[in-house]
Amino acid sequence: MTAKTKAKSSILETVHATAQDLHNLGFINQHKMRKYDALCIDPIPDYDSEKIRSLRERYQISQTVLAALLNTSASAVRQWELGNKYPGGPSKKLLNLLDRKGIEALT
């Protein structure tokens, strides 16, 4: 488990630590270990219009540039900031990556 990954419960933390030990010893392959990692990762938070706008302002980028970074349309970003639509799937994941790691992670 990485330093940023927090277990949802002490039971999951124990299970993950055990799985990590078994992985280190060669009893669990990387594919199965990723499944255990996924159990312990916190869900991606929702991004509302205010959060998206503040991310853009933090990195001083336009809606068009943000759209290019997220591989979506400027119209979609505009709709998110108006609160008419909300990002989902890959866009939500990329917004979270931008929020946590910075713009360099998407370039």
Q: Which of 34, 42, 44 is nearest to 6 (CA)?
A: 42
Average of per-residue pLDDT across 19-27: 92
Strands (DSSP E) contained in 1-107 are: none
**Phi, psi (degrees; rounded to nearest 5) at 7:** -70, 150
Model pLDDT, residue 2: 43
Total number of residues shown for the chain: 107
CA distance 58 to 79: 19
Judge whether residue 89 has pLDDT over 60: yes
Residue 35 pLDDT = 85
Return the closest-CA partner of residue 97 out of 107, 85, 82, 83. Answer: 107
At residue 91, does pLDDT exceed 50? yes
Q: What is the pLDDT of residue 53?
A: 96
The whole-number pLDDT of residue 8 equals 61
Give the pLDDT band of residue 73 (cuts 50, 70, 90): very high
Q: What is the DSSP letter of 106?
A: G
The structural domains of the chain, ordered by start, are 10-40 (no CATH), 49-106 (1.10.260.40)
In the chain, % of residues over pLDDT 70 = 93
